[in-house]
Amino acid sequence: MREEGIHNHKLQYDALILRFSGEIGIKSRPVRLRLEKRIEEIVKRELTREGIKVLGVSKFLGRLIINTPEPIAAIPRLTKVFGISSLSPALRTSSNLQDIVEASLRIAKGLLRPGSTFAVKCRRVGSHPYRSPEVCRRVGEAILNGIGRDVKVNLDEPDTSFSIEVRGADAYVYVENETIKGPGGFPKGSQGKVLCLLSGGVDSAVALWLAMKRGCYPLLVYFDNEPYTDDTTTQRAVEVAKKLSEWTQGFCNRVYLVPHGNNLKEILDRCPRRLTCILCKRMMYRIAEVLADRLGAEGLLTGEALGEQASQTLHNLRILEQAIVKYPVHRPLLGFDKDETHKIARLIGVYELTARKVKECTAAPEKPATKASIEDVLEAEERLDVDTMVRKTFEGIVVRRLDRDFSGT
């Protein structure tokens, strides 16, 4: 998802080819068209927001083609649009064979180094006075004759691979090496809303991104455990949320901040220490359930991964889930190893932020239960006025806008 290596020649590309995720292509026609239309709308809106001139947009063969004088400038925003699997800046020309040859040669002149190898591929839709192999041959010959730098053809492992896509009266030439990976997935909003429990740590950030990637509209909730954490913890969560909101083009522009410290104090005062985290999480789930109900979400989402923490054993996840009845808890990281999570975090640009040192929750016990019995948990909760705690906490929720200054709520 980087655009490095595209500025390595002076050529001015004038189009961008966006490929839809492969999974979109295998949907039924009405679903496919709906998803593609949605991506097209998002892309157009993003280009307008970036102030990029669009001279035309067309669709063919699972691709969206944008004619624009500034394709390179469009790339950073469009690599954050879900539903796009890859992007290639291209040179647009007519489907006249001589024009194709000249356009290809212009690219090759700026790009091929002495002694390097290349290949040419062609895909063609429509009726033309030539066939694809002829295009490859003519372009190949023109490059060999026109460059004069000892370049060679290598169809198996070329240093540079030219692709030509001919469609009706138009043709596009691009270099496969300059193709940039998109995030894939489905366009935002193609699924319903999910309420994400975002802690500011790496797991929930990646879990949230994975849900967005599959088309969910994320709603964000953070539980503020002050005085057991402090403002560094909250600030980090808000910044992580803001960073992630780039992937929904500003859709998730708020975080619900839940004052959870008093609940934690009650739990610490009245319940066995080894159950603190489980009881705290069960309260989080309950409050999140009420919020999900209020916001019209379809489910809750967490960054829990099997066995990662004492509260994340298979057994304890069951105990957690028994606290709520109306919503499923989605855990996209259930089977992830930590290094897999970190890899995605780096890719989406949240790794450093989530690794920032903050005050970790001081209420966590030294010896947490890894296999809490439901009887013990229910007995502990008898000592709490759970319903009142949930109601009071809910009344204290504050909405923090992400598109405003962090210091204000």
Task: Provide, rounded to whole angstroms, the least separation between the CB of residue 313 and Mg ion.
Answer: 16
- Nearer to ligand ATP by Cβ, of 83 and 303: the residue is 303
What dihedral do alpha carbons 43, 49, 51, 55 form, nearest 10°? 30
End-to-end CA distance of the chain: 33
The token pair that represents 248 in the structure block: 């929904």
Q: Which helix (H) or strand (E) holds 132?
A: helix 132-147
Q: List the one residue out of 239, 196, 241 whose CA is nearest residue 218.
A: 196
Residue 13 binding partner per list Mg ion, ligand ATP, none, with a CB distance cut-off of 5 to 8 Å that depends on partner kind: none
Residue 202 binding partner per list Mg ion, ligand ATP, none, with a CB distance cut-off of 5 to 8 Å that depends on partner kind: ligand ATP
Helices 276-295, 261-270: inter-axial angle, 10-degree rounding: 140
Task: Provide, rounded to whole angstroms, the least separation between the CB of residue 11 and ligand ATP.
Answer: 44
Residue 393 binding partner per list Mg ion, ligand ATP, none, with a CB distance cut-off of 5 to 8 Å that depends on partner kind: none
Q: List the one residue out of 211, 171, 175, 167 whose CA is nearest residue 193.
A: 211
Q: How far is CA 264 from CA 189, 259, 278, 389, in A?
A: 35, 10, 11, 10
* Alpha helices, H only, 214-259: 231-245
Contact pattern from residue 188 through residue 217 relative to Mg ion, giving x for each residue in contact according to CB under 5 A and a dash for the rest: -----------x-x----------------
Task: Provide, rounded to whole angstroms, the least separation between the CB of residue 74 and ligand ATP.
Answer: 33
- Nearer to ligand ATP by Cβ, of 104 and 225: the residue is 225
154-183 residues near Mg ion, rule: CB under 5 A: none
- Nearer to ligand ATP by Cβ, of 44 and 274: the residue is 274
The residue whose Cβ lies closest to ligand ATP is: 201
Task: Provide, rounded to whole angstroms, the least separation between the CB of residue 39 and ligand ATP.
Answer: 28
CA distance 409 to 404: 9
Residue 304 binding partner per list ligand ATP, Mg ion, none, with a CB distance cut-off of 5 to 8 Å that depends on partner kind: ligand ATP
**Footprint of ligand ATP on this chain (CB under 6 A)?**
197-199, 201-204, 222-223, 225, 302-304, 308-309, 311
- Nearer to ligand ATP by Cβ, of 161 and 233: the residue is 233
Residue 158 binding partner per list ligand ATP, Mg ion, none, with a CB distance cut-off of 5 to 8 Å that depends on partner kind: none
- Nearer to ligand ATP by Cβ, of 338 and 391: the residue is 338
- Nearer to ligand ATP by Cβ, of 91 and 197: the residue is 197
Handedness of CA 317, 347, 298, 290 (dihedral sign): positive
Cβ-based neighbours of 182, under 8 Å, separated by 6 or more:
1, 18, 19, 21, 78, 79, 81, 84, 85, 86, 87
Handedness of CA 373, 377, 378, 382 (dihedral sign): positive
- What does the binding site for Mg ion look like in residue numbers (CB under 5 A)? 199, 201
